[in-house]
Structures are given as structure tokens and as C-alpha cells.
């Protein structure tokens, strides 16, 4: 986690500066004050939403797995804040942060966790499987690495249609060892597809550290084998994430250049809420990160210094975020569950649209 | 007899076989330092060391394929899939390589690998994590498929699976891991391909396996007490090889059949069973063969609805009453 920022596309002059200083990058310096506040607000909202969801999980309102993004907020918020109309996002199961970063509403997100019919996937997907195609957000995927070829396909479609956009395909540091990821790298490089493979390196895949799972000098550098651009940056500084990603996204949109960007980050909670988190790292390590690199605190400090945030505004944003999360939980609580009849809805387009059905024969079996 | 959980029984089988044969190794994600995602391998790293108990990266195609290759040269790898659902990533290695290598080499090569892990719904982990691929696996000659329901069966069958010279797919269940059962103190090898009558009865045969055995036994008690229906519960234990004789013997006794399976119905294990029963015992049947399966859709997340999608005692009860009506 202490690697220096590096990249294949940067000269010494425009190399991403040390932590905190990327504020001068045009993509950040030109941001209106309100947009900076919005970046901050989004991170706080994600944090509070997830903390609320954790309490709901502990109260047994939520089933299955709950993979929290707490500690990593600046990555999704930084990357997704750069999205234009033709940019798209896909990620793995640790997907609450990305969902909120692209603009999904907290009520259906919380309701999905509760398994309610008002959830963003009508209670069918759960925590790992959030989707919002209208916001260019393509999930939420449970199989490690499985989303990466899909993200490559989004980029293929953009290029095919002649749209100037890019796909961001997020994965963890463990996912880079899936064969499908390497096949996607090759396709993206071979066909010059506008996709950025974003490796959110939080140091661990479940209980396995990067050292114990990945060979080679660095995860992003693997791009070199495919002749692809790559870069690394720190993920606790939302400005740095934006400054780095902006360059690669521009290359993707303008020149259809794919890249692998590895963003160093950290998760404070266990792999999922079920992980006792006491076998593979120390409490001190977590505390140290939280104390020195908490993405919300780091950005708050920057914005306070710049006079963008005040104590009162910080307080207000936090209060509002907590209230929003509580409201989302109330909404989820009050919503109905799907019914057993819903089990077989949304399986086939044709069975949901019987008037337009063209095929014959039986679709469902007993 | 000792009372062990299903998890402890599997661990005991692994431990005994690791001790017995130095060619047995356990590989998988988080099996060593993390003690297994479901703690099945707790303590094994400490006991057998890092040469025998190996953490792998998240590379199912790579490490399962590696296990298949190593087995060709006489290693007896036990590969843990954190969930059987992830077999799809290693599909080619399992179903093209492990299943076919003996055949394509004209019998020159054996593939004594065991691939094990949980394969079940009911824990609200959604469609990607709830696959029950025993039918898909059993569709491939060359592969053996085991689905134990109790601690005793899990231990005795896993020991046999590890000693088997063919590739054995061993499907466990996260919900059963905590279930306790009696396990003999002395070594027991339960042969693959032997069904077990878990409850005797005269009016209806329920053919089932895995966690559905437990649901069927609960339903059978209710049927006995409240409906005066005597149910025989046949636990297949192994899907391939399949002990059809025990099934047919029971059918000849009861003349009515309900198949209960945590499977999507299309081309399921039950489909194969129903074909065989009607073919071999048509004249013994007093009514059509009934089946209770998972409701035919991807696994729904919503916790209370998932219970209804899967077999459960109430659904078994209803299906059984229909089968004897
Ligand atoms: C194909 C597959 N194998 C294993 C798993 C189980 N699993 C879920 S998350 C995970 C760790 C992934 O770590 P990483 O890619 O670093 O992402 P992070 O959880 O740190 O965000 C594992 C092994 C899975 N979901 N899919
Ligand atoms: Mg990770």
C-alpha cells in the first residue's frame, strides 16, 4: 500500500503529484465550489448508508452477504464523478458505493438489501447485485472477475455504435488472477476498446494479502504484457483519483485506448459482515489507515483549508446523510416482500410480455 | 458413537485421509490460513503444514486444472470450491479434462481428484451463489457425484471419494455444516453408489438427497401423525453411480413415488429417476410419479421468498398428499 504513483502515460512534468497536491490538476481546480461539496457529500452519504445497513444486518433485517465499501469511498466517487453521458460502469459485489456514486437513490438500495419488492432489483438480486441501466450502471456481480468481460463488451458496444464514451470495469486485487480478466485484457488491447480496468487494491482478497495471491511486480503493470497503458494512484484522495482517471478516460474516449489503473485503497470492515476479520491483519493496521488516510477526513481537511467547507456545513451534511439513511431504512422496513408468484417473473422477456411472444412451447417446468 | 457436526465430520475425513496417504493434499481459496470460508479445514494447516494445505489465488480454472494434471501423476488432490457455484469458472477443466482424460487416453490415465464444497440455496446469497449442479455434473460420464445429507454419510463418503480412482464431485451444504449427527468411532468407508433408507414406510416412497432428506423426514413425521400416511424416505447419497435398485425395491413396497430435490426441474436428477422408475417398475406404480423441485427460476434473494422457492417441509407435505391422493 505504499507504492509510489506510477503510470505509462505520464511524463515527469505532469506526473500525478504527491497526495493532496492533485487539487491543482485542471479537472479538480476547475471544479465549482458546489461540485466539490457534492463530492464530499456523496462520500459521506455512502458511509452513512452503509453504516445504517450494517445495523440492519445485525438486526437480521438483511440476509446473505453484506460487503461494505467503508474506507474505499473516494475511489467510486472520484471515478464516477468523471462520467459523461456515454460513460458506463460495472463492478463486483462490493457495489453499494458505485451505485450511489452513479446516482442511485438510497431508498430502493436499502429496500433491495431488505429483500423488498420496492428494491432496485425488486428483491431479486440482493446486496451483490444492484443495477441501474438508466444511470449507465451495469451491476453488481457476484462471481469474482466475471464482470470484466462484460465491461469490455460495454466498451465494444460504444465503439461499434460510434459513441465517444468509455467503460470503467472495476475489480478487486484478487480478481486480477481470474482467467476471464486476462482474456478481456487481451481483447481490449487487441481491438482498442475504450475500457478502463480499475483495480481497487484494498490489500486483501478475503483473508489473502496481495503478496500471497499475485505474482509479479504490480497488478497494473500486467497491462504491459498486452501493450496496454497502465497507471497507479492512491485512492484515499478523491482529487488524485480524479486527476489520474481523467487522463486515462480521455485517452479511452478520444483514442479508444484501454488501460489498467490500480488504485490503492483499504477496507475497514471484514471482507463481508460475516468475516471475523481477526486472522490476517491487525487492529492497529486498520486504525492507522483510518487515522491518517480516511478518504472522507482527508477530503474534509482539504476543503476546510480551502474554505469550501465549514464546520457548520460538515455537520449539516453529516446530519442529512444520517437522516437519509434512516429514511431509507424506514422505507425498506415498511415495504412489502415479493410474493412467491414473483419468483417466475423477470426470467424471460417473452414470459413477461406474453402479447408479443413469438416462440412456442413451454418456458417453465415443474 | 461420537456426535459430530457435518462440518467436523468432513474435517475428520480429510484429516484421516491426509494422515493415511501422503499424496493427499487440500488446495483451495482460504483453506489454510483462514481455515476455510466455512471453517471446514480449521486446524488442518497447523496439523499438516503448508505443503499439504494450500491457499490458492482466486483462479478456479487454473487451480482445478492444476489439480487434474497433478492427479494424472499420482497426487490425490482434494480441491475446495468456496461454493460449487464457482465451478462454472472451471467448467472446462472439470467437464472436458477431468471427465474425459481417461476415456480419450484409452484408459491409460486416471484422474483421482476430489472437488468439494457447498452447493445449495437457502442462504439468501442470490442467483450467482446458489447453484446446485449435481445434474449437470452427472450428465458427464467419467465423473462421479456425491451429495451427503448427514454427518456420518459425509465422513464415510468423503473417505471413499478420496480413495476412488475417478474424479469425484462432492457437494456439501452450508446449511448442513452445523447439523449434528452420530458418527462411528471406528473407521467407516461408505461405498459410493449405495442409497440409504433413512425411514421405512409403506404408503409412499420419497426419493431424495442432500438437505431435502431432512425436509422429507420432517414432512414424513407429520404425514404419519396427522394424515396416517406411512412414508419411506430413500436417500440416494450418491447421484452417479446411482443405486436404482434400492429405489425400485422401495417402489415395489409402496407403489407411489415422490421425488424431492433442491434442483431446477428441467433435466434434473429427478427427471432421470422418473424415467428409470417408469421404465423398470411401470406395473408397480399406482399413480404417476410426482416431483417437488426448486421453483423454476434463478435463485431469488428475498429471504422469506427464497424459502418458498426451495423444497421445505410444508411444500413436501403438500406434494406428498398429492402423490397419495
Ligand atoms: C469465481 C469466484 N471465486 C470465489 C469467490 C468468493 N469470493 C468472493 S469475494 C472474494 C475475494 C475477492 O477479493 P478482491 O478481488 O480483492 O475484492 P475485494 O473483496 O477486496 O473488494 C472471493 C474469494 C467468488 N465470488 N467468485
Ligand atoms: Mg481486495
Same fold across B2-183 and B196-324 = yes
Percentage of chain A modeled with pLDDT above 70 = 96
CB contact under 8 A, A115 and B123: no
Residue B2 bridge partners (DSSP):
B183
On whether any CB of chain A is under 8 Å from the CB of B178, the answer is no
Please tell me the predicted confidence (pLDDT) of residue A9.
Answer: 74
Ligand 1 atom nearest to A142, measured from its CA? 25
Q: CA-CA distance, B264 to B258, in Å (whole number)?
A: 16
Give one DSSP letter per residue of A329-364, joined into a string: HHHHHHSPPP-GGGGGTTS-HHHH-GGG----S---
> What spacing in Å lies between the alpha carbon of A236 and ligand 2's midpoint?
15
> A366: exposed, middle or buried (C-beta count within 10 Å: 0-12, 13-18, 19+)?
exposed
**A235 pLDDT exceeds 50?**
yes
Q: Kindly report the backbone phi and psi dihedral angles of residue B305, in degrees, each rounded to the nearest multiple of 5, phi listed first.
A: -80, -30
Q: CA-CA distance, B130 to B150, in Å (whole number)?
A: 20
Q: Kindly report the backbone phi and psi dihedral angles of residue B187, in degrees, each rounded to the nearest multiple of 5, phi listed first.
A: -60, 135
B249: Cβ contacts below 8 Å, ≥ 6 apart: none
Q: Residue with C-alpha cell 490425490?
A: B76
Out of B27, B37, B58, B125, mutate this one to test ligand 1's pocket (max ligand atoms within 8 Å of CB): namely: B58
Query: Would you state the cell numbers that stand for residue B288, as one nine-digit string?
Result: 404417476
**A149 pLDDT exceeds 60?**
yes
CB B48 within 8 A of CB B8: no
For B189-226, the pLDDT digits (tens) are: 999 999 999 999 999 999 999 999 999 999 999 999 99
Give, as one character, the DSSP assignment of residue A271.
S
Query: Would you state the cell numbers that stand for residue B146, as one nine-digit string?
Result: 456425491
- A342 contact residues in B (CB cutoff 8 A): 300, 305
- Alpha carbon distances (Å) from B94 to A208, A302, B144, B194, B247: 25, 53, 11, 24, 29
CB B291 within 8 A of CB A365: no
Q: What is the CB neighbour count within 10 angstroms for residue B173?
A: 26
Cα angle A322, A326, A329 (rounded to 5 degrees) comes to 140
Q: CA-CA distance, A289 to A2, in Å (whole number)?
A: 12
Phi/psi class of residue A140: alpha, beta or left (left: φ > 0; alpha: ψ in -120 to 50)? left
Please report how the helices A295-305 and A33-58 are oriented relative to each other, as an axis angle in degrees rounded to 10.
Answer: 150
For A78-110, the pLDDT digits (tens) are: 999 999 999 999 999 999 999 999 999 999 999
SS3 category, A93: coil
Q: What is the ipTM of this complex?
A: 0.93
Please tell me the predicted confidence (pLDDT) of residue A8.
Answer: 79
Q: CA-CA distance, A23 to B133, in Å (whole number)?
A: 52
Q: CA-CA distance, A82 to A16, in Å (whole number)?
A: 17
For B58-80, the pLDDT digits (tens) are: 999 999 999 999 999 999 999 99
Query: In terms of DSSP H, where are the helices of A199-306?
Result: 210-213, 238-255, 283-293, 295-305
- Active-site annotation of B, residues: 60, 129
- A127: part of which helix (H) or strand (E)? none
Q: How confident is the model at residue A279 (pLDDT cuts 50, 70, 90)?
A: confident
CB contact under 8 A, B301 and A144: no
Q: Kindly report the backbone phi and psi dihedral angles of residue A263, in degrees, each rounded to the nearest multiple of 5, phi listed first.
A: -115, 120
CB contact under 8 A, B125 and A338: no
Q: CA-CA distance, B192 to B239, in Å (whole number)?
A: 9
Which among A112, A179, A340 has the least Cβ separation from residue B61? Answer: A179
Q: CA-CA distance, A206 to A280, in Å (whole number)?
A: 9
Q: Which domains does chain A have, with CATH numbers?
A: 39-335 (3.40.50.970)
Phi/psi class of residue B146: alpha, beta or left (left: φ > 0; alpha: ψ in -120 to 50)? beta
On whether any CB of chain A is under 8 Å from the CB of B287, the answer is no
**A320 pLDDT exceeds 50?**
yes
Which ligand places an atom closest to the C-alpha of A75? 1
CB B303 within 8 A of CB B295: no
In angstroms, how far apart are the furthest CA atoms of chain A?
Answer: 68
Residues of chain B with pLDDT under 50: none
- Kindly report which listed range (A203-212, A271-280, B11-20, B145-154) carries the lowest average pLDDT score: A271-280
CB A106 within 8 A of CB A330: no
CB A323 within 8 A of CB A105: no
Ligand 1 is surrounded, with C-beta below 6 A, by A 94, 142-144, 171-175, 202, 204-206, 271; B 29, 58, 60, 82, 86, 89
What does pTM read for this prediction?
Answer: 0.95
Query: Among residues B204, B253, B254, B250, which one has the least CA distance to residue B231?
Result: B204
Q: CA-CA distance, B279 to B165, in Å (whole number)?
A: 31
Give the CATH fold of the B2-183 domain: Rossmann fold (3.40.50)
Query: Would you state the cell numbers that stand for residue B247, as one nine-digit string?
Result: 429405489
Please tell me the predicted confidence (pLDDT) of residue A21.
Answer: 74
Task: List the domain boundaries for chain B.
Answer: 2-183, 196-324
HSE-CB for B19 with a 13 A CA cutoff: 9
Q: CA-CA distance, A223 to A234, in Å (whole number)?
A: 18
Interval A243-272 mean pLDDT: 97
B238-240 and B144-146 as β-strands: parallel, antiparallel, unpaired?
Answer: antiparallel
Interval A165-184 mean pLDDT: 98
CB contact under 8 A, B61 and A115: no
Out of B55, B82, B88, B91, mutate this one to test ligand 1's pocket (max ligand atoms within 8 Å of CB): namely: B82
Kindly indicate whether the domain formed by B196-324 is annotated with CATH number 3.40.50.620. Answer: no
**A351 pLDDT exceeds 90?**
yes
CB contact under 8 A, B301 and A174: no
Interval A289-318 mean pLDDT: 97
B224: Cβ contacts below 8 Å, ≥ 6 apart: B201, B230, B231
**Measured between CA atoms, how close is A277 to chain B, in angstroms?**
10
**A3 pLDDT exceeds 60?**
no
Interval A277-306 mean pLDDT: 95
Q: CA-CA distance, A255 to A272, in Å (whole number)?
A: 39
**Measured between CA atoms, how close is B289 to chain A, in angstroms?**
12
Please tell me the predicted confidence (pLDDT) of residue A10.
Answer: 53
> What spacing in Å lies between the alpha carbon of A240 and ligand 2's midpoint?
20
Amino acid at each position: 500500500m505504499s507504492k509510489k504513483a506510477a503510470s505509462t502515460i505520464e511524463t515527469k512534468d505532469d506526473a500525478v503529484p504527491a497526495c493532496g497536491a492533485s487539487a491543482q490538476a485542471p479537472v479538480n481546480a476547475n471544479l465549482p465550489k458546489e461540485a466539490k461539496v457534492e463530492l464530499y457529500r456523496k462520500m459521506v452519504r455512502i458511509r452513512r448508508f452503509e453504516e445504517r445497513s450494517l445495523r440492519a444486518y445485525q438486526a437480521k433485517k438483511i440476509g446473505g452477504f453484506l460487503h461494505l465499501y467503508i474506507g474505499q469511498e473516494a475511489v467510486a466517487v472520484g471515478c464516477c464523478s468523471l462520467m459523461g453521458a456515454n460513460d458506463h460502469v460495472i463492478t463486483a459485489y462490493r457495489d453499494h458505493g458505485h451505485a450511489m456514486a452513479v446516482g442511485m437513490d438510497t431508498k430502493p438500495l436499502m429496500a433491495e438489501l431488505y429483500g423488498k419488492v420496492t428494491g432496485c432489483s425488486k428483491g431479486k438480486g440482493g446486496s451483490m447485485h444492484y443495477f441501474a441501466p438508466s444511470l449507465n450502471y451495469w451491476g453488481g456481480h457476484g462471481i469474482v472477475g466475471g464482470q470484466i468481460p462484460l465491461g469490455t463488451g460495454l466498451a465494444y458496444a460504444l465503439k461499434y455504435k460510434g459513441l465517444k464514451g468509455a467503460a470503467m470495469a472495476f475489480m478487486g486485487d484478487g480478481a486480477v488472477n481470474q482467467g476471464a480478466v486476462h482474456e478481456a485484457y487481451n481483447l481490449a488491447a487487441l481491438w482498442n476498446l475504450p475500457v478502463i480496468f480499475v483495480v481497487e487494491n484494498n490489500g486483501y482478497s478475503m483473508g489473502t494479502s496481495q503478496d500471497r495471491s499475485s505474482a509479479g511486480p504490480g497488478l497494473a503493470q500486467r497491462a504491459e504484457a498486452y501493450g496496454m497503458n497502465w497507471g497507479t494512484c492512491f485512492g484515499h484522495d478523491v482529487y488524485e483519483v480524479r486527476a489520474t482517471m481523467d487522463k486515462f478516460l480521455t485517452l479511452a474516449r478520444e483514442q479508444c485506448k484501454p488501460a489498467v489503473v490500480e488504485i490503492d485503497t483499504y477496507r475497514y470492515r471484514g471482507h463481508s459482515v460475516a468475516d471475523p476479520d481477526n486472522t490476517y491483519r491487525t487492529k492497529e493496521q486498520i486504525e492507522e489507515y483510518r487515522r491518517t488516510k480516511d478518504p472522507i477526513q482527508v477530503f474534509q481537511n482539504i476543503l476546510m483549508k480551502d474554505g469550501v467547507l465549514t464546520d457548520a456545513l460538515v455537520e449539516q451534511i453529516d446530519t442529512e446523510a444520517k437522516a437519509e439513511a434512516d429514511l431509507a431504512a424506514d422505507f425498506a422496513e415498511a415495504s412489502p416482500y415479493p410474493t412467491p408468484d414473483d419468483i417466475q417473473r423477470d426470467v424471460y422477456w417473452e414470459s413477461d410480455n406474453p402479447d408479443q411472444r413469438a416462440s412456442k412451447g413451454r418456458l417453465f417446468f415443474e | 458413537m461420537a456426535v459430530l457436526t457435518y462440518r467436523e465430520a468432513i474435517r475428520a475425513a480429510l484429516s484421516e485421509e491426509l494422515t493415511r496417504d501422503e499424496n493427499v493434499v487440500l488446495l483451495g481459496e482460504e483453506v489454510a490460513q483462514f481455515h476455510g470460508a466455512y471453517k471446514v479445514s480449521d486446524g488442518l494447516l497447523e496439523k499438516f503444514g503448508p505443503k499439504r494445505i494450500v491457499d490458492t489465488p482466486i483462479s478456479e480454472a487454473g487451480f482445478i486444472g492444476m489439480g487434474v494434471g497433478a492427479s494424472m501423476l499420482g497426487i490425490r488432490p482434494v480441491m475446495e470450491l468456496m461454493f460449487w457455484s464457482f465451478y462454472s469458472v472451471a467448467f472446462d477443466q472439470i467437464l472436458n479434462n477431468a471427465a474425459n482424460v481417461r476415456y480419450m487416453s484409452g484408459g491409460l490415465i486416471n484422474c483421482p481428484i476430489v472437488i468439494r464444497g457447498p452447493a445449495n440455496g437457502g442462504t439468501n446469497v442470490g442467483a450467482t451463489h446458489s447453484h446446485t449442479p449435481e445434474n449437470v455434473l452427472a450428465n458427464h460420464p467419467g465423473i462421479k457425484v456425491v451429495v451427503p445429507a448427514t454427518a456420518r454419510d459425509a465422513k464415510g463418503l468423503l473417505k471413499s471419494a478420496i480413495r476412488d480412482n475417478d474424479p469425484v464431485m462432492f457437494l456439501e451444504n452450508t446449511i448442513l455444516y452445523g447439523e449434528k449427527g452420530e458418527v462411528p468411532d471406528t473407521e467407516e468407508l461408505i461405498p459410493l453408489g449405495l442409497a440409504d433408507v433413512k425411514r421405512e414406510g409403506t404408503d409412499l416412497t420419497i426419493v431424495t438427497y442432500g438437505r431435502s432428506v431432512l425436509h422429507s423426514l420432517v414432512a414424513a413425521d407429520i404425514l404419519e401423525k396427522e394424515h396416517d400416511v406411512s412414508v419411506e424416505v430413500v436417500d440416494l447419497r450418491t447421484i452417479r453411480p446411482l443405486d436404482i435398485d434400492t429405489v425400485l425395491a422401495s417402489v415395489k413396497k409402496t407403489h407411489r413415488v415422490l421425488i424431492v430435490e433442491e434442483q431446477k426441474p428441467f433435466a434434473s436428477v429427478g427427471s432421470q429417476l422418473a424415467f428409470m422408475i417408469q421404465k423398470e417398475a411401470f406395473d408397480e406404480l399406482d399413480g404417476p410419479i410426482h416431483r417437488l423441485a426448486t421453483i423454476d427460476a434463478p435463485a431469488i434473494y428475498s429471504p422469506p421468498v427464497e424459502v418458498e422457492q426451495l423444497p421445505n417441509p410444508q411444500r413436501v407435505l403438500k406434494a406428498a398428499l398429492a402423490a397419495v391422493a
